[in-house]
Amino acid sequence: MADLQGDTSWFTHDRFGLFIHWGLYALPARHEWIKQREEIPDAQYDRYLKYFDPDLYDPEAWADAAANAGMKYFCVTTKHHEGFALWDSKLTEYKATNTPARRDLLKPMVEAFRSRGMKVGFYHSLIDWHHPHFRIDAIHSMRNHLDKDKLNEPRDQAQYAAYLRGQVRELLTEYGKVDMLFYDFSYPAGAKGRPEGFDGKGRDDWNSIQLMKMTRELQPGIVINDRLDLDDVEGGWDYRTPEQFMPREWVTYQGERVLWETCQTFSGSWGYHRDETSWKSVEQLVQMLVGVVSRGGNLLLNVGPTGRGVFDDRALHCLSGMGEWMKWHSRSIYGCTAAPEEFQTPEDCRLTYNPETNRLYVHLFTYPFRHLHLDGFANKVEYAQLLNDASEVRFHQPRAGHTGDSSLERETLTLELPVQKPNVTVPVVELFLKE
């Protein structure tokens, strides 16, 4: 039996990855849950198979956009809840090869990202609103169908679970090394916050234990997320996945700090959404990345490519904005984590720390006037500079006899910053700590 833990060394170093949600839902372009939300019957939804024609698909360009943004890994929806397979699965006809694309869309993507040194991740939906043996439950697209019970009669969930395993086996044997698997998601009856009698699905419906073991056996070292409903099972997960909110502190499980990665969208939905206007600014995105690393986590940032097979201009704008910042500042992200507790975070700042180089990074979310006071830092810093241009930042330690503040008591080290904010989204001061 393979090791029940994934190799997370790259994961905690790389910190920043690209999520890709791409499937038939790119065509309706109004949310990847559209089949469920609008309760669209198969016959109507399946028309998209006939029209899915990503004629401009260029995975090399996708991988370039991600690499230039500073991303080190990617994770793509091999299949989302709609059931459509991006690859040439032998187990279904509901796949990319049966669209006008007429080919496996996954393989060239994996190759393009891998050839740029990026780690490979697969998001695979446990849920499937297309498969005939997936039993209709409380969140299924057919949940309100009048003949629901009758439609459920011939459905045998165990057959679906076998299909699920079969597809995952294809993915884990035909695409070389896969570094990460993001299963999505479980919603068991009886879980906190679910109503009485909620008709959900969990570990028994997916055969989660078997799936987890097979995953680890076929890809030793693979890192698995936490949505198989195996929280309490050894090897059931490697990292937590808080979604679409910013954890306030290092994520814990039963009181212990754990590995975590938050996944976030640019504008709200995961699949391509034409009309959404709630796009985050580059500044918000950079601050999000910094905030996540300052709490010991990873950021998986999502793009929903269009039905033509491209990242639209809004997504490219966000990625290149992040890349511009990362070009000068990635040293405060890669290999970094939360600062040791002895260093207090100054107002409007976030700290990250690289334990290997013993450097601390102060990120200035609002730019102060001339002085930045770092309480608790006195006598701990050897040298300081702005990270974007390696220009020295002078500092002074508190001195006895100086009146007017309590810096001596607070062991404050005061940085002397230029009056003008450096021309970068979030300025960073790099502190070389004393041994």
By the criterion CB under 6 A, which residues form the site for ligand GLC? Answer: 21, 32-33, 184-185, 243, 263, 270
d(CA 414, CA 374): 6
In degrees and rounded to multiples of 5, residue 166 shows phi and psi of: -60, -45
| Of 25 and 175, CB closest to ligand GLC | 25
| Of 31 and 363, CB closest to ligand GLC | 31
CB contact set of 274 (below 8 Å; sequence gap of 6+): 29, 30
Which stretches does DSSP call E strand in 39-87? Answer: 73-79
CB of 337 to ligand GLC, least distance (A): 23
Contact 112, 63 (CB under 8 A): yes
CB of 18 to ligand GLC, least distance (A): 13
CB of 219 to ligand GLC, least distance (A): 21
| Of 245 and 369, CB closest to ligand GLC | 245
Centroid of chain to Cα 129: 24
Contact 117, 74 (CB under 8 A): no
Q: Strand, coil or helix: what is 86? A: coil
CB of 309 to ligand GLC, least distance (A): 19
| Of 37 and 421, CB closest to ligand GLC | 37
CB atoms within 10 A of CB 243: 14
CB of 195 to ligand GLC, least distance (A): 19
Question: Residue 74: in which H helix or E strand, if any?
Answer: strand 73-79
d(CA 1, CA 214): 9
| Of 170 and 243, CB closest to ligand GLC | 243
| Of 238 and 430, CB closest to ligand GLC | 238
CB of 300 to ligand GLC, least distance (A): 8
| Of 62 and 328, CB closest to ligand GLC | 62
Contact 432, 359 (CB under 8 A): yes
Closest CA to 129 of 174, 95, 80, 175: 80
d(CA 24, CA 85): 9
CB of 10 to ligand GLC, least distance (A): 20
Q: Strand, coil or helix: what is 199? A: coil
